[in-house]
Amino acid sequence: MTKRHEELMRDVLGGLPATGTPPQPAAAPARETRFLKRSTGLAERLSGDRVEKTLLWVDPARCRMWERHNRRYDLLNESNCADLIEGIKAQGGQEFPAIVRRVSDGRHDFEVICGARRHWAISWLRANTYPQFRFLVEVRDLTDEEAFRLSDIENRDRQDISDWERACDYAEAVRLYYGGRQKRMAERLEVSESWLSRYLDLARLPRRIVAAYRDVTEIRESHARALKPLLADPATRERVLARADAIAAEQAERPISAPAVLAALRAAARRPAPRPAARSYPAPDGSGAITVQARGRSIRAEFPATLSRDALEAAFRAYLADRFGEG
């Protein structure tokens, strides 16, 4: 046995006790320990048990957003990124890398799969007296479907991605990556089909309904659930859509909150109670009549101003007889 083989055997067997003999603590020689670490690391890489990561500090201007990113980059601002901005300043840099993949379009070297807020925050800091900060990225080789699932897994439980953004992302994904097969997509995402269906229903809301909200990120999955049966029923659909159009016009004059919008749309679906019919009691001489109609807890009576006293009394007697059953 060669010296190299002897070293390998010692590395593999050195930690095992001899038969019938209790193990004795002993420090392995430094050279053997280093060799074991090197050989173990090589074996893990060759077997696929270890994944090597490539982390880079890059200029955020050289990164573009993946067009299928599940966060609306245009909705990011100093206010909704304030916590991240302060965290980066306190840490002296970005703590967790964004996930990117390489591109080559002349202007960009990478596209961001996960980490739009981190990209926005670093870009904002560099433009606002912190030019030393760079964008930390982890480079991966991903298909579009893999990129979608990775982005979804990272952001599914985050509260700062709205139901509307998530719903639109899912609606595009089921078409692009799963052939329109909702069940297949649910299996790949490891979610229930009913859970996924609720978000797809949100993405299918008519544009007229969406326009009624002052901010699309305020539209909740529960709103779509409440409106779905009202929009599916031809008897209520047009009333709901007409009310949505009116609310959209009102939003320009005064802001209406999302809960108030939903309440107004649901109220529009309810058919107003029919007003009690008016009844007429003509005067015996044919000179006119009084018209009586219930208005809530009141009674409203109308008659021509030209009606004579006798004609008016006769008409009222007819009304009283009808109301109280007097002959």
pLDDT tens track for 81-126: 999 999 999 999 999 999 999 998 889 999 999 999 999 999 999 9
User: Would you say residue 29 has pLDDT above 60?
Assistant: no
Q: Where do the DSSP E strands lie in the chain?
A: 54-58, 63-65, 98-102, 110-114, 135-139, 279-282, 289-295, 298-302
Rounded CA-CA distance 241/230 in Å is: 10
Rounded CA-CA distance 20/26 in Å is: 18
Rounded CA-CA distance 47/207 in Å is: 52
**What residue type is assigned to position 250 of the chain?**
E
Its CATH architecture, for the domain 29-142, is: Alpha-Beta Complex (3.90)
Instruction: Yes or no: say if 227 and 198 are a contact pair by the CB < 8 Å rule.
Output: no
Instruction: Yes or no: say if 195 and 183 are a contact pair by the CB < 8 Å rule.
Output: no
| Residue ranges covered by each domain of the chain | 29-142, 205-269
**Tell me, what's the pLDDT at 27?**
46
pTM of the entire structure? 0.60
DSSP-assigned beta bridge partners for residue 293: 300
**Tell me, what's the pLDDT at 321?**
87
Across the chain, what does the average pLDDT equal?
84
DSSP letter (8 states) at residue 254: S
What would the DSSP string read from start to end of 98-133?
EEEEE--SSS-SEEEEE-HHHHHHHHHHHHTT-TT-
Collapsing DSSP states into helix, strand and coil, what is residue 205?
Answer: coil
User: Would you say residue 154 has pLDDT above 90?
Assistant: no
Which pLDDT band holds residue 45 (cuts at 50, 70, 90)? low
**What residue type is assigned to position 153 of the chain?**
I
* Least confident piece of the model among 167-176, 267-276, 297-306: 267-276
Higher pLDDT, 71 or 175: 175
Question: What's the average model confidence in pLDDT over 278-284?
Answer: 88
DSSP-assigned beta bridge partners for residue 290: 281
Instruction: Yes or no: say if 160 and 117 are a contact pair by the CB < 8 Å rule.
Output: yes
pLDDT in tens, 211-237: 999 999 899 999 999 999 999 999 999
Give the pair of three-digit tokens for residue 189: 């995402």
How many helices, marked H, and strands, marked E, lie in the chain? 13, 8
User: Would you say residue 279 has pLDDT above 60?
Assistant: yes
Collapsing DSSP states into helix, strand and coil, what is residue 264?
Answer: helix
Rounded CA-CA distance 121/110 in Å is: 17
Rounded CA-CA distance 125/140 in Å is: 26
Which pLDDT band holds residue 38 (cuts at 50, 70, 90)? low
Which pLDDT band holds residue 243 (cuts at 50, 70, 90)? very high
What would the DSSP string read from start to end of 158-191?
-TTS-HHHHHHHHHHHHHHTSTT-HHHHHHHHT-
Centre a 10 Å sphere on the Cβ of residue 9 and count the other Cβ atoms it contains.
11
Question: What's the average model confidence in pLDDT over 297-311?
Answer: 89
Rounded CA-CA distance 138/99 in Å is: 5
Give the pair of three-digit tokens for residue 216: 């699309």
User: Would you say residue 144 has pLDDT above 90?
Assistant: yes
Question: What's the average model confidence in pLDDT over 311-327?
Answer: 84
pLDDT in tens, 188-207: 999 999 999 999 999 999 99
Cα dihedral: 291, 294, 300, 303 (round 10): 0
**Tell me, what's the pLDDT at 71?**
79
